[in-house]
Amino acid sequence: MATAGGEAAGRPHRSVRRRPTMRDVAARAGVSFKTVSRVFDPNGRVSEEKREAVLMAARELRYQPDPAARNLRQNLRRSHSLGVVLSSVDNPFASAVHRAVQDVAEERGFAVFSASTDDDPQRERPLVEALIARRVDGLVLTPTADDQGYLAAELRDGTPVVGIDRTAHGLELDTVVVDNIAGARRATEHLLDHGHSRVAYLGDLSTITTARDRHAGYEAALRGRGIAVDSALVRTDLHDAEAARRAASDLLAGPGRPTAFFASQNTITIGLMRALRDLGLDGRVALVGFDDFPLADLVVPAVTVVAQDPRAIGRAAAERLFERIGGLDAPAARIVLPTTFVVRGSGEIAPAQSPAP
């Protein structure tokens, strides 16, 4: 006689054993779900130690991967697109970085969605979250906010992020930068080598890590030559050409004015050049700028610069991002690219050619 549930009378009920999942394997191995997925992905990359731990856990649980389900998950997860959040697409540096990322992405059949924070820390997270909502497969980010810790969950869930130009805070990210301190120090030393002792500094927002590094390089050059840092010759938090023009005009109109300037960013250099032109001092006050810009070699005098290679920066960032998308499982790397010092004339003007204080 059968029971209402269909079991023969007196026969004990047998529970159905749940099939183990990748999350069960991850928990047993003490690794992330993402790591388990990479182990069972023919194209995934993972350390040998983690691979052995995952395979042992899978054997213990008698886990069998489902190739069809894995392929479906991968296809659902992939959008074949990247997100790029830059400081300002108006800046030639940022636009060149964007173009390089796009070139690398197009080589691999990926589209690129981009946005600009305009260096407003409040804009960074909403822009990033909007791109994440579009299910981009990876993100290139110029950090602007004080803390990028909000990205930790995205990294855990398998969306790689590579920082460019600036150091992230609150978590470890692959980052592509140049040696800003060394570049700024060389620029300042170049002016000192040409006989200047009153070298002014015009800097970007002090909240930006690159601006702080370049200021540090300027100070290191002065101290290395036994010259005290004169705060009266320093202007920071200049974020556009007009602010730089006003600051330079103020310095040049005051007593004990500088005979040379180090401008720490290309738009600041442009503002300084306008101030020199307005005061009839172009060609009489020495100038070295950080970042090259269009027509810098055509003005008179042509502008001596510490040049970055924004296309190399963008390409390196994109290639690292695709390595992560392809399954690279390795600690975050800091990729430091060199700068190039380009002598053109403005940085070689001697103090005697500048007006006396």
pLDDT for res 1: 41
How many angstroms separate the first and last alpha carbons of the chain?
Answer: 113
- What is the per-residue pLDDT for 316? 97
Which pLDDT belongs to residue 17?
Answer: 60
Is the residue at 245 inside a domain? Answer: yes
Q: Are residues 346 and 209 in the same domain?
A: yes
Same domain? For 149 and 169 the reply is yes
- Are residues 193 and 279 located together in one domain of the fold? yes
pLDDT at residue 19 in the model: 80
Provide the pLDDT for residue 12.
47
Residue 3 lies in a domain: no
- Judgement on whether residues 295 and 322 belong to the same structural domain of the protein: no
Token pair, residue 324, equals 């992560």
Shared-domain flag, residues 53 and 87: no
Write down the pLDDT at residue 352.
60
Q: Which domain holds residue 293?
A: 180-308+341-353
Is 331 among the domain residues?
A: yes
User: What is the C-alpha R_g of the chain?
Assistant: 28
CATH of residue 314: 3.40.50.2300
Please tell me the predicted confidence (pLDDT) of residue 67: 56
Rounded Cα–Cα distance for residues 285 and 134 (Å): 50
pTM here is 0.74
Same domain for 348 and 201, yes or no, is yes
Number of structural domains, the chain?
Answer: 3
Q: Which stretches of the chain score pLDDT less than 50?
A: 1-16, 71-76, 353-357
pLDDT per residue over 37-62, tens digit each? 878 775 567 788 888 898 889 888 88
Question: Do 111 and 159 reside in the same domain of the chain?
Answer: yes
Question: What was the pLDDT predicted at 251?
Answer: 96
* CA-wise closest residue to 201 among 310, 102, 290, 98: 290
71 within domain boundaries: no
Return d(Cα 62, Cα 17) in angstroms, integer.
12
* 231 part of a folded domain: yes
